[in-house]
Amino acid sequence: MRDQFTHAIEDYLKTIYDLSLTHGRASTTQIAEVLNVAPASVTGMIKRLAGAKPPLVEYQKHRGVVLTQDGKIAAIEIIRHHRLLELFLQETLGYSWDEVHAEADRLEHVISEDFEERIARVLGDPTHNPHGDPIPTRDLEIPPHATLCLSHLRPNDRGTIRRVRDTDPELLRFLSDHGIVPPASFTVTGYTPFDGNLTLQINGRDQAVVLGMRITQQIYVERE
């Protein structure tokens, strides 16, 4: 059913999927930034994806791409690999949550469907990875997950940490040092307009923390 795509193609599909979730469409520059390649390289690859049989993206010159149904299926397959692997690395090999992403990013392209199936069973068909991202099911449905960004909360709001974006290991270490890890619950105790700083009191912690928007935009929560 799979393993027809190169590592590069898989990384592009994954990136386009991700960008489409927040922006509806993925632009050349956005993709280039995420993948750390030149915009010209993205244009080249985009054309290959659009010209594939069947096409994996729908491409309109100068206005970016969206995934076709085929492209979306391929992307979600890889995301399932990635997130299952992240949990597996943490649970079975004792990785910390800031280490799992980079390792999974390489493994995701080479494991077999058999490997995928085996770790899914060992882990008991989990629904979320260590960062709280939903793990697509075997038939590629996305489990329910938090979409409310912490930056939108205001003083006296209470809630639970559900997801943290996983791209920056340093941020992840900072957050776990302060107890900001799913499923910690918290109360917002302060807000500064203009700079958007939020003060967060994590339940069971002495010290409150002040978080800038750079950080609060990377965190998704469930409001009580």
Residues that bind DNA (CB under 7 A): 6-9, 27-30, 35-48, 59, 61-64
d(CA 177, CA 35): 29
Q: How far is the CB of 108 from a second copy (least distance, A)?
A: 9
Name which of 78 and 119 has its Cβ closer to DNA: 78
| 162-201 residues near Mn ion, rule: CB under 5 A | 166
Q: What is the closest distance, in whole angstroms, from the C-beta atom of residue 94 to a second copy in the complex?
A: 7
Cα 126–Cα 130–Cα 136 angle in degrees, nearest 5: 40
**Distance in Å, CB of 92 to a second copy, minimum:** 7
Residue 14 or 162 with smaller CB distance to DNA: 14
Cα torsion through 33, 161, 132, 193, rounded to 10: -10
Q: Which does 151 bind (CB under 5 to 8 A by kind): Mn ion, DNA, a second copy, none?
A: none
For DNA, the closer of residues 10 and 116 by Cβ is: 10
92 Cβ partners below 8 Å, 6+ apart? 122
Nearest to 74 by CA among 25, 24, 44, 109: 109
Cα 46–Cα 50–Cα 56 angle in degrees, nearest 5: 100
Q: How far is the CB of 29 from DNA (least distance, A)?
A: 3
195 contributes a contact to a second copy by CB under 8 A: no
Tell me how far, at minimum, the Cβ of 119 lies from a second copy, in Å: 7
Omega cis (within 30) before 54: yes
Q: What is the strand order of the sheet 185-191 is part of?
A: 148-149, 219-223, 158-164, 185-191, 198-202, 209-211
| One of 93, 190, 214, 223 touching a second copy (CB under 8 A) | 93
Contact between 198 and 216 under an 8 Å Cβ cutoff? The reply is yes
The closest residue (CB) to Mn ion is: 101
Q: Is 173 in the site for a second copy (CB under 8 A)?
A: no
Structure tokens at 123: 């882990």
Report the residue number, 52 or 122, with the smaller CB distance to a second copy: 122
Residues lying near a second copy in the complex (CB under 8 A): 92-95, 99, 102-103, 106-107, 109-112, 114-115, 118-119, 122
